[in-house]
């Protein structure tokens, strides 16, 4: 069986900014797609410990007040997400997403900031398997016209995206593109 017909674990984070050293995860989703079964989705909102900049709120729609009132503690969410990702990777299930270098670096920094074991520590090896549609798209079609954002790829490859810049919608859209 080819990987795209088997299990996959779509993953995405929405954050307070683009600097992985300083940004905080605001929302994150890890899903588990199994053929002939309902997709399992684990989505989390973090009660952030920093202000969410207006520019970030304009992208994902989440304010500092909303996150703090409705979110869970960062450590609790980060532990759950890291455990879930480590489990699917240990089982050989590919984690699928868009520009995963950003998401994995951000998660790594958040785990370290919260004194939690990183993914590679949990696995006892480098993270993987990983399927990054951004990397694949650039390798397969270097000269494709149009942008390389997730919405652009969805349009180019005929994949549905329900609500751009929402962690669950983005994770599942990346799996559709893959």
pTM above 0.85, yes or no: yes
Close Cβ partners of 40 (under 8 Å, ≥ 6 residues apart) = 31, 32, 34
Among positive and negative, which fits the CA dihedral 16, 79, 104, 178?
negative
Q: pLDDT digits over 18-53, tens only? A: 999 999 999 999 999 999 999 999 999 999 999 999
């Amino acid at each position: 069986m080819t990987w795209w017909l088997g299990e996959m674990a779509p993953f995405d984070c929405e954050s307070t900014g683009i600097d992985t050293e300083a940004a905080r995860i605001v929302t994150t989703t890890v899903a588990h797609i199994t053929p002939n079964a309902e997709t399992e989705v684990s989505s989390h909102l973090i009660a952030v410990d920093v202000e969410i900049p207006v520019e970030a709120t304009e992208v994902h729609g989440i304010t500092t007040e909303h996150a703090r009132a409705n979110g869970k503690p960062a450590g609790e969410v980060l532990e759950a997400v890291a455990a879930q990702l480590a489990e699917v990777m240990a089982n050989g299930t590919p984690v699928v997403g868009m520009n995963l270098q950003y998401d994995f670096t951000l998660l790594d920094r958040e785990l370290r900031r919260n004194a939690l074991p990183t993914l590679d520590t949990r696995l006892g090896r480098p993270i993987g398997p990983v399927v990054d549609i951004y990397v694949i798209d650039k390798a397969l079609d270097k000269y494709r016209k149009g942008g390389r954002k997730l919405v652009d790829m969805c349009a180019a490859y005929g994949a549905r995206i329900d609500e751009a810049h929402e962690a669950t919608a983005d994770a599942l859209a990346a799996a559709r593109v893959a």
